[in-house]
Structure 1
């Protein structure tokens, strides 16, 4: 359009058109990538129901170890991975990671022992380490602060798509039991690994670069959009992520509090994702029924998470939504853990999933808003049918998430009041270059509450 050269930051019609253009180009690719990421992350829970432990001669806690070891490299390599992503073309790096773990998933279907499966899970964790932070990093570079929860919520709909697909695929692929001489769990890994390889090729073709280097926007659109991002209190955003900068960032109290929040929600989120079929089977349901009835839980939680994300972005508030969602998760887990009627326990699974997955997008975007995590618990078979230790841990972490949210809210509210009173105005006397490096410490910046 010829009028693009006259774009201004106050043009709502053009803003809406260009943001939609970005949404349509970026978000479908990220949703696809994170769908297969999460599908591959939790498919071990479905594979467990199709003779995996028997075929691999797994005993005691070996299954739980296979689940746990995935998270060790995942945690260790998340920050180094983002330091790499900050310096390379996103589509090369992210699609390469997806191809590597897709092939690993596929070949893990040939495992002959618990050791082979555990080794594959370590490699998958290593390759997947860059995916979630990479997706969030891209969203953070493309959207303003109060546009993020909606996009992060859409990204985490991938969890629900994967949760639904995992149950349905687990039931369908598991029924291939004996085909070609392979058990149902092998077919789950074969097919889902191949799906990831296809997603890697798609991302290589379509994933865009960072805003300043994008090619799908016209020059005038790109210039306008970059100025729009810089106008959103994003001082110093173009700086490269370096080791000392990363070390300084992770010692910031806001980052620590955000990590506490994310740890609180992630424990419960992965417990639901990986062990939901196991918990449902403890209701006395067949393996097939447990797989199938895990799907509607995730569908409902996905609808809620996007709706709450849009609402949160619209009112530009985070704390009320985070605290209330954690509370819903606590109530849901208590119902699953303490009551006897199967119908009430199943309803509790809905509440636990809704509260937990609402929080995922909210706490991530809230942490990014202020400046700019994953763990595991076990559900051994001996704790069936109520799983008091595992569900009790989920409740404890959700409760700690409420505490973390309150800490974040009150400290940030107090700092906003100081800036409103002018207590930080002395920083305006600094040279312009030093002001640019202040980031969220600049007196014009206001924390999201």
Structure 2
């Protein structure tokens, strides 16, 4: 094979092989680090489920709904701060923003291991929610700013594998760290918090130095590579604009039904996703398995869901379709939930596989699908933050509808998850049908009158421009 020379700073990139190399350079610079940081976010959020199996409630004299309240309280500051966080993320260097919040929640998790009462643990969970609020919307905002519309699902699927990695190793870490129960006089749940929190603090240093900026300010690309990247982004999104988020632009974005739909879809996803993450070890324990086995067997379903979600993401980007995969994922997840609710034994365990695979197919799809429908960076930032905000209500709901008294089948909680997924199916069908109709109208020339506007006015149309096509 002939040697391909890297372009100099003055040259344009025209060779497709060289272009692919630049895109891979971007992939390796962005996705693995953000994936790792988000994995820690999820791990430090759901390790409460594993800690519960290692004398947490006994040591802190918790009873009744105390555990559910501890799980729930995390989401209150998270929900309040998620949308404002992207407002600041848009103005502060991403590496500094993420470095600070990662260190904040890492220290909080570590010191939560020293809690001596229910109230102390409750305060710790509040501060974890405060610091973690900016991570998910910030990552989604940053990733969506680097890729073309039909490259997003593949990257987001790889990013969301962090959830599956966290779900997989959470059980393994819960078993391993919890087995230190009694070491140096500390219960197993304390060791889970100590060690996982310390790892997060180390990761904060990586975030400070290596989280990349937005493409316009990138420093790891040559001028020729940066020019090529910005040109391809502009050609993909007619009317694309990169602007600062303002309160008015956020408020205007929230009037867009597509932005509101993103929230409904992600709420439908997160209600089940959080239920699986936080309560799966507890449900597995109702099979008659001991704590160690329940932790270990919570890992395989998450491993399977991670592999399938990436494969579906690649397929979705390749054929440039989203709706059919969203509906398929919701359907598979609901089938799994029914198996969990009404069956026993190995078939019930199979239901956990179906529920996890189905819902984690939809998670990256619904975020990318809605981000595909807008062109301005302000609206894209609003979509990712608003979807994430409503999604966290799913965490509150799942925390409330799985009380211990409903075991072993947990029918009310599972049926609640099914109900929200039905709402997600309705929202996905509505989005699919409406956007398909609008694309047909543009193909038929029904929006060509907008071409009579001045060039300046056309540049302000964004996704309303007659050349823009929605992703269905």
Which TM-score applies when normalising by structure 1? 0.98
- 1:216 corresponds in structure 2 to 220
C-alpha root-mean-square deviation of aligned residues, in Å?
1.1
1:261-303: CA deviations, max 9, x gaps? 1110011001101111011011111111000000111100000
- C-alpha separation between the residues in 2 aligned to 1:11 and 1:5? 15
Q: Is it true that 1:66 corresponds to 2:70 in the alignment?
A: yes
Say which of 320, 330, 350 aligns to 1:347. Answer: 350
Q: Is it true that 1:312 corresponds to 2:316 in the alignment?
A: yes
- 2:404 corresponds in structure 1 to 381
What displacement does 1:88 show?
Answer: 1.1
The count of corresponding residues between Structure 1 and Structure 2 is 447
- 1:7 corresponds in structure 2 to 12
What displacement does 1:236 show?
Answer: 4.3
What displacement does 1:424 show?
Answer: 1.4
Secondary structure in 1 aligned to 2:64?
coil
What displacement does 1:7 show?
Answer: 2.6
In structure 1, runs of 5+ residues without a counterpart are none
- 2:369 corresponds in structure 1 to 366
Secondary structure in 2 aligned to 1:445?
coil
Once the two structures are overlaid, the 10-residue window that deviates more, 145-154 or 178-187, is: 178-187
- C-alpha separation between the residues in 2 aligned to 1:22 and 1:447? 25
> Is the CA contact 1:105–1:189 (under 8 Å) kept in the aligned structure 2?
yes
Counterparts in 2 of 1:210-359, with a 5 A limit? 210-233=214-237, 235-340=239-344, 342-359=345-362
Q: 1:127 to 1:329 in 2, by over 3 A?
A: same
> Is the CA contact 2:238–2:467 (under 8 Å) kept in the aligned structure 1?
no
What displacement does 1:111 show?
Answer: 0.7
Counterparts in 2 of 1:100-249, with a 5 A limit? 100-233=104-237, 235-249=239-253
Which TM-score applies when normalising by structure 2? 0.93
Q: Is it true that 1:404 corresponds to 2:427 in the alignment?
A: yes
What displacement does 1:438 show?
Answer: 1.5
What displacement does 1:427 show?
Answer: 1.6
> Is the CA contact 2:7–2:224 (under 8 Å) kept in the aligned structure 1?
no
In structure 2, runs of 5+ residues without a counterpart are 1-5, 375-379, 381-389
- 1:42 corresponds in structure 2 to 46
- 1:392 corresponds in structure 2 to 415
